[in-house]
Copies of this chain bind each other. A is one copy, B any other.
Amino acid sequence: MDHIEQTFQVNYSFPVHFTEHLFRAGNELFGDFLLARRGDTVKKLLFLVDSEVALHHPLLDGQIREYVSGIEGYALAGILQLPGGEGCKNDRRYFYEIVDAVNELGIDRHSYVVAIGGGALLDLAGYASAVSHRGIRHIRIPTTVLSQNDSGVGVKNGINYAGKKNFLGTFAPPAAVFNDAFFLTTLSDRDWRSGIAEAVKVALIKDAAFFGWLEANAPLLAQRDPDAMEYLVQRCAALHLAHIAGGDPFEMGSSRPLDFGHWSAHKLEQLTGFELKHGEAVAMGIALDSCYSFVSGRLPEEALQRILGLLLQVGFEITHPGLVVDNAESPLLLGLQEFREHLGGTLTIMLLRAIGSGEEVHHLDVALLQEASHYLFHYQPIHSPQ
């Protein structure tokens, strides 16, 4: 024998639920999920709650305590509040706060860490859960549009390190995701809007019909119509989930089409000290790469106009001083290098051939980026937003 080839498969499965008032008496979704997974011994639940959510939902803490006390075979180990937003991913101490709680409260691999919050808190909680005891079961309850339709339903987690987004993290599917539409009602306008960027993104690379729906419903979305948002979240989440299951869930290759518009967005977030929200930066990143697709001769100008028009109509800004490329030394361009390094292998950037149809390239031209970024910076909508 000179070698043994070790080969095995691991199967993953988790439900993504859509509901409202998850912890209200009478909503049995969460309890039923847990009851179906009871064991011989009592399992513990450790809740991690985004302090922003706790602030807007002062009854939540009591509701959780009441709700969990009614689930046989489970015990509430604690409810820990943590700051939401990118800050919780930038400071390592929050990671250790969760790990310490897991240790001190005796949360084991068959217990559940239940995280309630925006994408940043879910990323942090998912990472701390994934590495404690080599992986504690983790339930996600995303509370923002962005996390309900995109990051919260996926398989990634992470924290920032050395100024780089998600430098430390893992691929670790959650045990379940519960999207509760009621949390969306208390979002700020910025947070409501921010998540729409990921819906525009996935429509642009996967689904022209959904893009048409977004255009038709842009006024309703801008006015915070809950039914329009419900459809958007479910359709976007479904496209996101289908892509993961059908592709390369743990990103072993170099292609990452769901990161359309993200190479510049990640860098812009960092360049602005995270003053821009992720979705706001993604909207600008989509605008830039769509414009690049146009100036490089891939995308017709009429399609570009529709994309920029939709972003503006939803209320996004499409440019920023940090997004402007003046020469090969422009700080934004470091984002290309960092993006390549994070994925590894050959630089692979998604561009557009048409609305609903992407094309991967392995090089962006600085002169064309300059042209695209200046086009955006001086952009005057042909049709003013309705």
Which A residues are within 8 Å of any B CB, using their own CB?
1-19, 39-41, 99-100, 103, 106, 108-111, 127, 130-136, 153, 156, 158, 161-162, 164, 166-171, 173, 234, 237-238, 241, 244-245, 249-251, 254, 340-346, 362
Contact = CB atoms under 8 A, between A and B. Distances in A.
Given A108-B343, A109-B251, A241-B4, A167 B133 contact: yes
10 contacts: A4-B15, A5-B16, A8-B249, A39-B345, A40-B345, A100-B162, A108-B341, A110-B345, A131-B131, A132-B168
Give the number of times this chain occurs in the complex, counting copies: 2
A253 B114 CA distance: 20
Contact of A135 (B18, B127, B135, B170): B170
Contacts of A244: 6, 8
A13 B238 CA distance: 30
A16 B6 contact: yes
List the 3 closest pairs (A to B, CB-CB), nearest first.
A109-B344, A110-B344, A108-B344
A111 B245 contact: no
A4 B249 CA distance: 17
Contacts of A362: 40
B13 A245 contact: no
B161 A103 contact: yes
Contact of A18 (B2, B15, B130): B2
Given A111-B344, A133-B167, A156-B134, A249 B10 contact: yes
B245 A7 contact: yes
Nearest to A108: B344
A16 B2 CA distance: 8
A3 B178 CA distance: 9
Contacts of A153: 6
A346 B6 contact: no
A14 B6 contact: yes
A23 to B, nearest CB: 17
A134 B110 contact: no
B346 A40 contact: yes
Contacts of A10: 9-10, 12, 249-250
A346 B346 CA distance: 46
Contacts of A110: 254, 344-345
Contacts of A343: 108-109
A9 B9 contact: yes
A168 B127 CA distance: 11
Contacts of A131: 127, 131, 168-170
Contact of A103 (B16, B132, B164, B237): B164
A136 B171 CA distance: 12
B15 A6 contact: yes
A13 B19 contact: no
Contacts of A99: 161, 167-168
Contacts of A254: 110
A170 B172 CA distance: 10
